[in-house]
Structure 1
Amino acid sequence: MFLLNHRLLFPDVEKADEDGLLAVGGDLSPERLLLAYKNGIFPWFNEDSMILWWSPDPRMVLFPEKVKISKSMAQVMKSNKFRITWNTEFEKVINACSAVIRKGQHGTWITPEMKSAYLKLHQMGIAKSIEVWENDLLVGGLYGIDLGNVFCGESMFSSTSNASKFAFICLAKELQQKKYKLIDCQVYTAHLESLGAEEIPRKQFMAILKE
């Protein structure tokens, strides 16, 4: 296990353990976070633990052109039920994501320290959000890190049925048009798989990231 200090560096991702845990400690400065994402590493930890840095193998990703749209979601996409905006309410989105109660998870990993760090990245134009509105209510959305050819998804929320799916599908369609390589979904969930995400070897993910 690698213990980070004030120096801006990470060990090679191949040194991560079988769960993907690579290092502990360090800080959440914009410089360190950007270095992490550019090297296939992300922070994920509970409120009462040290900062933990991960690079799992395999890696869950979505190639934008492979996004799956079910018949019911296709109907939602065609309707005027939802309206989407891009990067207009980042703070509201990250606050909503932090408030979501998730099965099997006690508390939130989106701590006040994490929020502050990602807000700084947002102000730098690196962290971005997608918002879903029903009438004038913010009912869903997601946020992540935009690396230019890869979008690293961090978290999503939905306060009404299908709102987060709507955000994810709209993101995939937009990134496909912009010729992004993939959306980094980090780790497997059945929900992400149902939307077309798949696991690929870390080496393949790193090769795409470095292009």
Structure 2
Amino acid sequence: MYQLDDDSILFPPVHEAMREPNGLLAIGGDLSPERLKAAYYDGIFPWFNPGEMPLWWSPDPRAVLMVGELHISRTMKKILKKQKYRVTINHAFNDVIEACSIRQEGTWILPEVRAGYQGLHQQGIAHSVEAWYGEELVGGLYGVNMGLLFCGESMFSRMDDASKVAFITFYFHFLRYNGQLFDCQVLNHHTASLGAKEISRRDFLHILYRWRNKAIDPACWLPQSIEISPLFT
């Protein structure tokens, strides 16, 4: 296993990632914004448990949500039409990542992890999406923007379907600004229900390399309220 150098933010080539556990590429290093940026630029992300050294991953296959492949159930369409929640971007990044960190016992979002992503947020690279019920923050998500890709990291809900409403609303917003792909990292029931699927790491990297240096309009990330597509209103 590759041990990262504390004095360098370089990662080994992703094709050297282990098959078992799937995608484990490197261990160690810090969680500075500079290292995180270097990781996402090459399709790598951190994930580790409390008490462990940072572990860095690039799994094969990779879970993604393609443009035009979002699945919205009939039940969710009814929920969206009710407009129960107000959705915003970058109104409460610190609150969102804090909520994600305490949503379940054994979370990996430790203080040093939060500090790294908060640093990325201050640089305009990490972003949050919030769902509000009145003035109460009841759901949301955060992730990293890499060119025309959005790499989702974590979601939380304090009320039914709040995080799904936040994500679906953000999905259409991101597409309006020419967003091309949502990186879901590893497929789970929640992301699969929204239309995410697995593609090979090679195909994912091909997409990443194509779009990572394309600048999205900064207006996409201005603190703002966003609304669902007219299809549901």
**TM-score normalized by structure 2?**
0.87
Q: What is aligned with 2:207? A: 208
Q: What is aligned with 2:78? A: 75
- Amino-acid identity (%): 52
Matches of 2:111 and 2:9 in 1, distance apart?
22
Q: What is aligned with 1:110? A: 109
Q: Which runs of 4+ in 1 moved over 4 A?
A: none
What are the residue-to-residue correspondences of 1:21-36 with 2, within 5 Å? 21-36=24-39
| 1:180, distance to aligned residue in structure 2 (A) | 1.4
| 1:37, distance to aligned residue in structure 2 (A) | 0.1
1:60 corresponds to 2:59: no
Q: What is aligned with 1:4? A: 4
Q: What is aligned with 2:53? A: 50
Does the CA-based 8 Å contact 1:62-1:185 persist in structure 2?
yes
Matches of 2:67 and 2:114 in 1, distance apart?
27
Matches of 1:210 and 1:33 in 2, distance apart?
17
Q: What is aligned with 1:144? A: 143
1:87 corresponds to 2:90: yes
Q: Give the match's secondary structure for 2:52.
A: coil
Q: Give the match's secondary structure for 2:43.
A: coil
Matches of 2:67 and 2:118 in 1, distance apart?
26
Q: What is aligned with 1:16? A: 17
Segments of 5+ residues of structure 1 without an aligned counterpart are none
Question: Partner letter of residue 8 of structure 1?
Answer: I
| 1:40, distance to aligned residue in structure 2 (A) | 0.2
Question: Partner letter of residue 57 of structure 1?
Answer: D
Cα deviation code 1:99-153 (max 9, x no counterpart): 111xxxx511100000111111101100000000011111000000011200000
| 1:96, distance to aligned residue in structure 2 (A) | 0.3
Q: What is aligned with 2:216? A: none
Does the CA-based 8 Å contact 1:65-1:173 persist in structure 2?
no
Does the CA-based 8 Å contact 1:62-1:198 persist in structure 2?
yes
| 1:29, distance to aligned residue in structure 2 (A) | 1.1
Q: Give the match's secondary structure for 2:68.
A: helix
Q: What is aligned with 1:131? A: 130
Question: Partner letter of residue 17 of structure 1?
Answer: M
Segments of 5+ residues of structure 2 without an aligned counterpart are 211-233
| 1:69, distance to aligned residue in structure 2 (A) | 0.7
Aligned residue pairs: how many? 207
